[in-house]
Structure 1
Amino acid sequence: MQEYAAKPKAAGGGEEMEHAGKNVKYEGRASGRQRLCFLALAAALFAVADSGRFLAVPVYGELFSLRTAGLVLVTAFCLRLALAPFEARRVVCGAVCGFLMGLMTLLGLGYSLNRSLLITPWRYAAALAAVSVIDAAFVGAFLRLTDRGRDRERVEGSLPEAGFNRAKRLGRPGDGLRLWLLLTFLTGCVYVPVFLAVYPGVYSYDASVQVLQCFGGLPLSTHHPLLHTWFLCGCLKAGLVWFGSAQAGLALHSVLQSAFVGGVFSAVLCRMRRRSAPRLFLALSWLFLAANPYLAVFSFVTTKDVLFGAFFLLTFDMAFDMTACPEGFFADWGRTALLWVCVLFMCLFRNQGIYVALFFFCLTGLCWIRRGRGAQAKRLAVFTLTAAAAWYALSGPVPALLGAERGDMREMLSVPMQQLARVYHEAPDTLDGEERAYLEELIDVRALNSYVRVNADPVKSGFRTEVLKEDPGRFLKVWAAVGLRVPRIYLDSFFMGNWGYWYPGASQYWISYILFDGAFMEADWNLLGIRRDSRLPVLEEWLRRVTLTPAFESVPVLRFLFNQAFPFWLALLSLTAAVYRRRFEEALPLLLVIGYWGTLLLGPVTNLRYALPLIYSVPVMAGRAIGWQTKRPGCSSLPDPE
């Protein structure tokens, strides 16, 4: 643990502290010359980014506008915080994070406008440097502001002791339960009107296909997680048996799912409070999770992503306990079992959950081995292997015994098939006769002709998996050979399909924001005749208007917070903060977010529901980025048991 000692006040009202063995002077005020220099630097950066001389379009807007003037002033203030006093570690961390954000900003801006920003390479490089410095200034200012409060806390008393004493004040018997009940009640006050407005629920996305597998003639398949199919169809069956109505069954599904999700939100917020999160931050987090109309509506949507997101959130939050103090965590069988169950259900509710879990646990184990925690790494290996074995049994042999067919492997090949289809359309001369014939054999010609840049589903619908299985090596050979000839098209196709997950400046939608009025509602698909029967039509109309035409995009702050790329930027900021503070144990759980985000890049399309787990994790990541936590004496940051 780094030690901090108070020093006498310097002349001019400054305050000095010993930080990691070095005297760092925290200036109370900057001189007039410093302010002028930072203001001039900020103005120069925005002149490069928005003048139109370095890029084909401005990055932040019109150069001579009140908005840009405000951004210049804020950036100048952030530059002052980030650079004065100078600290090499803060500058380096901010520069690396700022460069990544700047690169994503310029690339994403080009893809969102579907045009090139390049005038000349050196001008593009200059614009990239300017945008990177602007982003680095904000990151550096954030690191400075969130670290300074802990400096004072360390001067007044050791952080573990101070945090533990506060935890004891917050942790009187029954406080946790009372707070959970209060938050759950408040969430219910939001959810009940929404439920009545969308009654009996939002029968949308893949629900009709899943119902046909259980009630109709479609064969049972693991393409959609069987656990979710059984949960949905079990509720519908209960409604038919108990009430003689599938409407009642869908209402039962809506009540159970929303109650579970609301309970999870409340539990995570309680744990954040135990980590010393202020009440204001807790209230804002509740507003983001529960009172957010988009997330509130999703709690009643029949998609697996909702329950998967809830278990992902629990796993992510508990992972901080595990990595902070593995000795204490694995000694507590109750906590270990709870995390094991959350990991298992996370994997069962979405097929890529197992890959995300293995990515996190394997890298965490390797990190522990490297840091001399071999005993804890062995426990983690047992934990991981047993969870993986349970997942394999419940997703492989058990479904096979029940007659379920395996899902189509084409779901994993959205990126390569979309790349080949793009070459087929935009650079057909680069394909020789044999490659073209194979491509038309592999993918139905009608599907190839329905190709669109931003969505792989049309091409995927005509993909013939049996052709691939006959000779997988040939597919890899053709795909690699074509890619070596036109690597730029391959890279452009990849980024075009997923820029919505890493560029927060615009929203990438190929369908309505939420399928509010359902999907596959035609008689041939809607076997049980489920229909909307709203009890609050005025609220229903408002929710329809809000979710189908996201009006928040006209509000600058909300536009950024509710964007699908915001969670990744927040994860990047949290990772930077953990590295800057040398809290590497707090960086490890972010592998869950980064791992799942990586799987989204390989998906067929950018869609809000796919990003739900990351959006649910925003308050936890924000709290960790700011640095709120509670520590036990002798242990890293494991909160006291509830």
Structure 2
Amino acid sequence: MYVIGISLLSIVVCIPKVRVRSLVTFGIVIFMSVGIMGLIKSSMGVLPGGKQEMFSIPFQQTARYIKEHKNDITKQEYQSIGKLIDIKTVDEKYDPINADPIKGYEDKTNVKEFKNYLLSWYQEGLRHPKTYFAAFNAMVSGWFSFTEYIPLTNMEWHSQLNTKLMPESSAIRPKFFNSSSKIVQEVFDNLYYNSIFQIFLSYAFYAALMPGFIVATICRKWDVRKLKYYWIMVIPLILSIVLGCWLSPVSIALEGKRYLYPVIYTIPFMIGICFSMYQDQIMENNNSKKR
């Protein structure tokens, strides 16, 4: 919702001639995301994740600060941080690429105490910015890694099924689909163990290499009058990476790849646009030579 909403608002601001249509589309997005999806989640008993889900990076920075600068924490900072993080267990729980052990899974406290924490987080960051930078670097490192991941197409990993709402049999695939799932898994396995295709199953290929190529192509200085607003097309891609991947609680691991899906689904369309732009440029150059 945030990615699409901000992208549409950029169109509203920058392209007046489609402002009305963009505002209508924005309204539809909000209605579907908040209204319809809100009703579905409410009827299915889906609970909100909690405010701590937005604090993966700050919590990791604080945890690293505690590990490296235990003697440089004031009493007030210790109290405000302790409301959200178990300071005594930070040394054993801190994982540089996974925020879940530190942030937990439950909404712990109220807005006021989050504000007090942010004040302490800001003050400590001013004292030791290198520690914060190192913590952030570690968290986003997975998105620049050529570590491969092997996709899972079976249902064995489902462990959070609420049998009061959905029967346990819903997690069991019929015989035919179970067989086809195994075939698909074998195909992915063969690709995974083939060194030629491994780059296409790496995080960096989708989160760094391809986005870098797309942004460089679309933002290149072509005919400004003809392609005046083409740069707007990269906004959803950049937001999907920054908000969806960089601020996520985990990277590289099996749990991390789901944050990359919006980028993976978007890239084929963006690559098509890039090749179209190159083709237009080639045709324009050829026409210029003929003239």
**TM-score for both structures, normalised by structure 1:** 0.36
In structure 2, the partner of 1:593 is 237
Q: Residues 309-338 of structure 1: CA distance to partner in whole angstroms, max 9, x if unpaired?
A: xxxxxxxxxxxxxxxxxxxxxxxxxxxxxx
Q: 1:430 aligns with which of 72, 84, 98?
A: 72
Relative to 1, partners in 2 of residues 1:514 and 1:468: Cα closer, same or farther, differing over 3 Å?
farther
Contact 1:516–1:544 (Cα < 8 Å) also in 2? no
Map of 1:338-357 to 2, 5 A cutoff? 354-357=1-4
The answer to which of 436-445 and 532-541 deviates more is: 532-541
Map of 1:63-212 to 2, 5 A cutoff? none
Aligned CA-pair RMSD: 3.6
Deviation at 1:384, TM superposition (A): 1.6
Contact 2:57–2:136 (Cα < 8 Å) also in 1? yes
In structure 2, the partner of 1:498 is 140
In structure 2, the partner of 1:458 is 101
Deviation at 1:454, TM superposition (A): 0.9
CA distance in 2, matches of 1:520, 1:390: 27
Q: 2:249 aligns with which of 591, 604, 625?
A: 604
Q: 1:376 aligns with which of 2, 18, 30?
A: 18
Relative to 1, partners in 2 of residues 1:447 and 1:551: Cα closer, same or farther, differing over 3 Å?
farther
SS at match of 1:419: helix
Contact 1:564–1:615 (Cα < 8 Å) also in 2? no
Q: Are 1:580 and 2:221 an aligned pair?
A: yes
Relative to 1, partners in 2 of residues 1:385 and 1:516: Cα closer, same or farther, differing over 3 Å?
closer
In structure 2, the partner of 1:514 is 151
Contact 1:358–1:384 (Cα < 8 Å) also in 2? yes
Contact 1:453–1:493 (Cα < 8 Å) also in 2? yes
SS at match of 1:407: coil
Q: Residues 232-286 of structure 1: CA distance to partner in whole angstroms, max 9, x if unpaired?
A: xxxxxxxxxxxxxxxxxxxxxxxxxxxxxxxxxxxxxxxxxxxxxxxxxxxxxxx
Contact 2:153–2:184 (Cα < 8 Å) also in 1? no
Q: Residues 139-164 of structure 1: CA distance to partner in whole angstroms, max 9, x if unpaired?
A: xxxxxxxxxxxxxxxxxxxxxxxxxx
Contact 1:443–1:459 (Cα < 8 Å) also in 2? yes
In structure 2, the partner of 1:360 is 7
Relative to 1, partners in 2 of residues 1:437 and 1:551: Cα closer, same or farther, differing over 3 Å?
farther
Q: Are 1:625 and 2:253 an aligned pair?
A: no
Contact 2:150–2:188 (Cα < 8 Å) also in 1? no
Relative to 1, partners in 2 of residues 1:402 and 1:425: Cα closer, same or farther, differing over 3 Å?
same
CA distance in 2, matches of 1:536, 1:375: 49
Question: What 5-or-longer segments of structure 2 have no aligned partner?
Answer: 281-291
Question: What 5-or-longer segments of structure 1 have no aligned partner?
Answer: 1-353, 369-373, 632-642
Contact 1:457–1:605 (Cα < 8 Å) also in 2? yes
In structure 2, the partner of 1:613 is 262
CA distance in 2, matches of 1:608, 1:380: 31
How many positions carry a matched residue from both structures?
262
Choose 1 or 2 for highest CA Rg: 1
Deviation at 1:355, TM superposition (A): 0.6
Name the % identity: 20
Relative to 1, partners in 2 of residues 1:427 and 1:545: Cα closer, same or farther, differing over 3 Å?
farther
Relative to 1, partners in 2 of residues 1:382 and 1:483: Cα closer, same or farther, differing over 3 Å?
same
Relative to 1, partners in 2 of residues 1:560 and 1:513: Cα closer, same or farther, differing over 3 Å?
closer
Contact 1:513–1:608 (Cα < 8 Å) also in 2? no
**TM-score for both structures, normalised by structure 2:** 0.73
Contact 2:142–2:203 (Cα < 8 Å) also in 1? yes
